[in-house]
Amino acid sequence: MIVFDNHLELRTNLRTLYCNGKSIGFVPTMGALHVGHGTLISRSVAENDFTVVSIFVNPTQFGPNEDLDQYPRTLESDLKMCRSLGASHVFTPTPASIYPNGRNQHEIMFSLRGLDKILCGAKRPGHFDGVLQVVSILFNIVEPTRAYFGKKDFQQLTILRILAKELFFPVEVIPCEIIRETDGLAMSSRNRYLNLEERKQALFLRTSLQAVQNLAEEGMDTGQLHALVTEKLSEYPLIRLDYFDVRKELNLEAVSELRKNDHPVALIAAYCGKTRLIDNLHVFK
């Protein structure tokens, strides 16, 4: 495994591999790797000749009051995990090398036409513009054959599929299932912020989605599902709901009536103490 912090050296190395007809799998991450990231890496290793993991806490996707400075940075153990899972390349650029003119000085910015006004986009202004910016930059540096993204960040996955399609990036976007702790909490680098009591109450996200799934089978509409989640919230005093919503899987359009053909997904975000967590579940099993 080779670790690169210089994008030109990484690109030169990867180019010789493409020229020899090799496939390149790519797993973009912000580090603080856990088993969830590990499954993406393992899948890429299984499906490609080479696997590039990027570890970059992208400043442009954090809002001014978010946790950019506190975001966990655990490079040494991240590299160990990448090596043990068989990654061939790790890319660890500095913010200054990706944004040489400074964080908000790029002449080209991205903007979405509506997907940034719903769910996490509405709650984190500019977040997905930053995600589109960094993923485009990384796609151009790595030129992957396949790129692996987790369904945990469901809205991100939807937007990045659209990015690849509309901007003709020659990459196959591969969605990967959510990996959970044994009690069902979705794994996240931010889970390490939780104290013991918060960790217990964080299960609200999972249990409310499961309750939604059970009741949807009994024919409830989305208004009733909302009411159910709000009612359940009262059992969890440390939780503050950011949003709960039900959307079509394909394009995140709102649904009022639940129809199996839309493959509706229930999406939730909540603060557990100061930590913001997200999760989602298909409404119909």
Q: Which residues are catalytically annotated?
A: 37
The whole-angstrom separation of Cα 160 and Cα 181 is 26
146: contact with ligand AMP by CB under 6 A: no
Strand (E) or helix (H) holding 216:
helix 203-217
Query: What are the backbone angles phi and psi of residue 185, rounded to the nearest 5°?
Result: -65, 130
CB closer to ligand AMP out of 88 and 189: 189
Q: What is the DSSP letter of 244?
A: E
Strand (E) or helix (H) holding 240:
strand 239-248
What x/- string results for residues 189 through 218 when contact with ligand AMP is judged by CB under 6 A? Answer: x-----------------------------
Q: Among the candidate windows 95-103, 147-155, 257-265, 266-274, which touches ligand AMP by CB under 6 A? A: 147-155
CB atoms within 10 A of CB 252: 20
Binding to ligand AMP (CB under 6 A) within 40-69 occurs at: 40
CB closer to ligand AMP out of 142 and 178: 178
CB of 48 closer than 8 Å to CB of 25: yes
Shortest distance, CB of residue 277 to ligand AMP, whole angstroms?
11
**Which one of residues 150, 171, 239, 268 is an interface residue with ligand AMP (CB under 6 A)?**
150
Whole-angstrom CA distances from 154 to 43, 44, 150, 262, 281 are: 18, 19, 7, 15, 10
Q: Among the candidate windows 121-129, 146-154, 206-214, 216-224, which touches ligand AMP by CB under 6 A? A: 146-154
Residue 205: exposure state from Cβ atoms within 10 A (0-12, 13-18, ≥19): buried
> Which single residue brings its beta carbon nearest to ligand AMP?
150
Q: Which residues bind ligand AMP (CB under 6 A)?
A: 29-30, 36-37, 40, 149-150, 152-153, 176, 178-179, 186-189
